[in-house]
A and B are shown apart, each in its own frame.
Chain A
Amino acid sequence: MKMTRQEFLKALLAASAMPWVGAARAEQGSPIVVGATVPMTGPLSLTGKQYHNSLMMAEEDINKAGGINGRSLKIVFEDTQASNSTAVNAFVKLAQESKPSLFFLSSYSTQNLAVEPELKKIQVPAFYAGGADVVAEAGNEWMFRVRPADSVSAEGMVRCALNVLKAKKPCILYIQNDFGQGGARTAVERFGAAGVTVAGMGAYGQNDKDFSAQLLGLRGKDIDVLLIFNYPQDGALVLRQAKMLGLKMPLVTSSAALVPAALQLLSPADLDGVWGVVDTFIDPSVGGRMRDFVERFKAKFGSDPDPYGLAYYDGAMLAAEGLRKVGTDPKALRDWFSAVKGWQGIGHLYSYDAKGNGVFDLAVVKSKAGTKSLELVQTIKLN
């Protein structure tokens, strides 16, 4: 067979275009990859496992509902453990190997702060749940928080101490990191603004196991309420040791000590006189999407969901909506998330401000006498 010059050129053109067409088709059929850096092992996995599970559940739900405009969603996980350097390595590995369209970062502010410069370099949107205000203050326009900031939590704890417990001589115990120091600082300011002087402050290291010195030192100041800024495991240990040392004053904890993973380490007696703030009061009796989420989570993973897990589930659903509306272009996605106002998740109403804060409400709870269950005292909404 003899080929004319015109036919030869057409064939050449077609052959050279083939890989591009193939690549475009392959991309259309390939899943949209989302990266998630989560503490799956080590002490921080108490909460990390929750959002690992809820992100997997969200992935399944999104794909069951038709995926993202016909493409499936695939969440690729890397373990951050309890280490900032491991968190950075996990993030860089995902960014280089999986090239995700967006990220979910851990719920630990120190890890969020460690990863933030890397995120800025690759310019991909990321949802995170660390509460420290400094994360948002860093001004990274690619980061979006799915939980209340610590200043919101601290405000809730102070309101609980002042309005519910009528505190006159409060004191504060905090974990020594960005979260604890930031929360304690905000609480001191809020108490000061209300004309109440904080009678004492105590701190402990993240790996400390004995808090008797701090607890007894603060009790010696004749205080009437103790605010505690803690992570789950140390928070549970503080509550337990407070009871062992015979502390009688009400204790107001930050949310981590009241997640199911921490509560399973405590007895009803340990929770006697314990108050606290939680991001969301998870109550299946309200019905609707909340009940559906709680029941399915429990059936799938054999444990109750916590507010952290719920926040990430909401974040995944918000991410899916953004991906459906504007595709995977990072800038378009970032702009879409920045413009979100009044998006109704299961746990919160999400409205993002210029610093990437999206949640401004939380719940004050207390333990029911003689049980390990919590009851809602009031919800707090801040402007």
Chain B
Amino acid sequence: MSRIALVDDDRNILTSVSMTLEAEGFDVETYNDGQSALDAFQQETTGYGSAGH
């Protein structure tokens, strides 16, 4: 399963797009801004799948 990071400050987009992608079989991580995404990517641990909103 492909994992996709979705980064947008528009909550409606985060919600609707992640729902669609999940329905299509993707694993989705959502972030409200670039910094949060970067922080998550840089974390040493691997448990960051639910970061974001």
A, B from the same assembly: no
